[in-house]
A and B are shown apart, each in its own frame.
Chain A
Amino acid sequence: MSDIIRGKAFVVGDNIDTDQILPAEHLTLVSTDPEEYRELGKAAFSGLPSDYATRLVPNGEAPCEYAVVIAGRNFGCGSSREHAPIALGAAGIKAVVAESFARIFFRNCLATGELYPIESRDRLCEAISTGQEVEVDLDAEVLRLADGSRKFSLRPMGEARAVVAAGGLFEFARRTGLVSGK
């Protein structure tokens, strides 16, 4: 993955749980099947309440036009379903920038390497609107609006960045000698 992620933002609020990211009825899908992986992408964020007028994947057309999810507190709370970060990744999302993450969701982002979970210092979900062009600069640890009007500081990802960059837990584990090469 590149060190700068550019694209449109999709903005959600606090306590977006895994049912809103991927409703439980889609848990019948198995992500290691390529066809079912694509199906997961089509269902990403389909559990958001109807007051989200703009949908991430309208009419099931994945990949979507967005690259970055902006969220409030406790993003990904709820279930341990790895289907949730996979659905966002399969929909084309490269990073989620949130005030805070639920533990298992954060870990699943690393394990799968599907997307970067990054903590913001500010409440970006009230500063950015869905559809705005943004860029997430992983080296500089900032999120900029593409028009250059504002930039926001991000919290350092630490070791987590290398795991996502490697493509997930297994590739990271092979590179670091935790498991033997394939």
Chain B
Amino acid sequence: MAMTLTEKILARASGSATVSVGQTVLVNVDVLMTHDVCGPGAIGVFYKEFSKSARVWDPDRVVIIPDHYIFTADEKSNRNVDTLREFANAQGIKYFYDVIDDAKGKWRFDPSGGPLQCRHGGRFAGVCHVALAENGHTRPGEVLVGTDSHTCTAGAFGEFATGIGNTDAAFVLGTGKILLRVPETMRFMLVGSLQPGVMAKDVILHMIGKIGCDGATYRAMEFAGEGVATLSMEDRMTIANMGVEAGAKNAIFPVDDKTLAYVEKHKLTGAETHYEVLAADADATCHSEHQVDLSAVVPVVARHPNPGSVSPVAGCADLKLDRAYIGSCTGGKFSDFEAFAAIVRGRKVAIETFGVPATPEIYRRLCSETIAGETLWDIMSDAGVQLTVNAGCAACLGGPGDTFGRMNRPLSCISTTNRNFPGRMGDIKGLVYLASPATVGASAIAGKFADPREYLQQPMTARRQQ
């Protein structure tokens, strides 16, 4: 029977020759990821439902990445990181990317020194969805579940990846299994390639604008076609990341040479890393097929109050802007900062602008890679962007009041992040506009919504310093 990529993976993981849409299957999980805001709850349910002395099914398949509420003096947030550490110690979990280096220590954030004072240790990995990939936990053909809706990001690597709640995560912790309904697949055929100044973020916002923010509910979004090869792995991560903003259960890309090169480069040492590359059957039955011409995509903005309210940036000239923000799993990767820095280089931001690298590794690259001889970090700093060296989710989801870049007043903010429902970045009356890093850069310089194609300057890519 012909199967989609999602069906192939769920068949493999459930030990079945085939699966069909609507069937509920018991799936073996390859990796469970959790973080500081959902981990403590999942751990609580795990001990309550199994027993106080329960053991996780496989400590090497549990990945714990504190990233949400880290650089805050909020006591409960600090406590939650300590809860993760106690659990990792008790269960012998190797892949715990702790904020501090002392396995017996307590995490207490010290805000003195400000955002340019590094407050984390050497194991800290930053935003989970980017950290998973950087640290070798995303592999083709596997099943990755995580207590975060943007877990679908890992579909970029040709695996089934989806977000789950704490109770489901507790069940996985104890059994290594999860009940999943096989979703229908919506296939998106990508053709052509992106114009300069247009980014992967524009592609996914364009699609969500077409199908609506519940247009893929309960379904898999599968990307295919010759256009896929033109997209970098970070581009694919951006697109898969926002599948959930259309309601999708998972979003998935085919595996090609770029995927394998990335996965090999970031391969875990000394761990079980066998994986099976699976491919969709061309004649598999899909819910629907959609053609997306990448060369026809233009810079777009998702207006308040949901990610489906998409219009070309050119049509937003009448809207006021107070702030710009670059960061998050969606828009805080290296290539996101590269596109942003190429535009703000040699210019000054006209509105307050905040930047948060997703991971310490990205921060390191921002300080070592250059455009026209200047590091990306210095370019942004010179342009007046307020930066922090402490990578994390930061203000993407508001967070505690002292979170870097949080909207503590009712402002209008253009952001490279993923959600713009009321109150998302803090103040309940704040307005969030989602756009690409290039559009956010151009708009920060203009002080109003601006088309990045009018702000392009050479060179557009970064180089490693010799």
Contacts and interface: CB of A to CB of B under 8 A. Distances in A.
B421 A30 contact: no
B149 interface: yes
Interface string B32-48: 00000110110011001
Contacts of B83: 30
B423 A19 contact: yes
Contacts of A60: none
Contact of A27 (B49, B68, B218): B68
Interface stretch (B164-172, B267-275, B347-355, B371-379): B164-172
Contacts of B148: 79-80
Nearest to B163: A80
Nearest to B72: A28
A173 B164 contact: no
A47 B427 CA distance: 10
Contact of A112 (B147, B165, B179): B165
B223 interface: no
A28 B69 contact: yes
A1 interface: no
Interface string A59-87: 00000000000000110011111110000
Given A27-B69, A80-B164, A81-B37, A173 B171 contact: yes
B400 interface: yes
B171 to A, nearest CB: 6
Contacts of B192: none
A79 B76 contact: no
B213 interface: yes
B424 A81 contact: no
Given A74-B217, A80-B38, A25 B399 contact: yes
A154 interface: no
Contacts of B399: 24-25
A15 B45 contact: no
Contact of A83 (B41, B51, B244): B41
Contacts of B218: 103
B322 interface: no
A49 B51 CA distance: 41
Given A50-B429, A80-B164, A102 B422 contact: no
Given A15-B306, A25-B398, A111 B421 contact: no
Given A24-B397, A47-B422, A111-B167, A74 B41 contact: no
B429 A28 contact: no
A17 B419 CA distance: 10
B442 to A, nearest CB: 28
A77 B247 contact: yes
Interface string B135-153: 0000000000001110100
A170 B103 CA distance: 32
A77 B214 contact: yes
A169 B171 contact: yes
Contacts of A49: 422, 428-429
A30 B214 contact: no
A74 B163 CA distance: 17
Contact of B49 (A17, A23, A170): A170
Interface in B119-177: 147-149, 151, 163-168, 170-171, 174-175
A57 B8 CA distance: 46
A104 B421 contact: no
Nearest to B40: A30
Given A30-B40, A74-B247, A104 B149 contact: yes
B421 A179 contact: no
B74 A28 contact: yes
B110 to A, nearest CB: 18
A170 B54 CA distance: 15
Contacts of B306: 15, 17, 77
B422 A19 contact: yes
A120 interface: no
Interface of B: 24, 26, 37-38, 40-41, 44-45, 48-51, 68-69, 74, 76-77, 80, 83, 147-149, 151, 163-168, 170-171, 174-175, 179, 213-214, 217-218, 244, 247, 249, 305-306, 397-401, 419, 421-424, 428-429
Interface of A: 15, 17, 19-20, 23-25, 27-33, 47-50, 73-74, 77-83, 100-104, 107-108, 111-112, 159, 168-170, 173, 178-179, 182
Complex A-B, nearest 7 residue pairs according to Cβ-Cβ distance, in ascending order: A32-B44, A82-B165, A111-B167, A28-B76, A108-B165, A80-B163, A74-B214
Given A30-B76, A80-B163, A179-B171, 20 more contacts: A15-B421, A25-B401, A27-B69, A30-B40, A30-B41, A30-B44, A33-B44, A47-B423, A49-B428, A74-B217, A77-B421, A80-B147, A80-B148, A80-B164, A108-B167, A111-B166, A111-B171, A169-B171, A173-B171, A182-B50
19 contacts: A15-B306, A17-B306, A19-B421, A23-B428, A24-B424, A27-B69, A28-B74, A28-B77, A49-B429, A73-B214, A74-B214, A78-B419, A82-B167, A103-B218, A104-B164, A112-B165, A168-B167, A170-B167, A178-B26
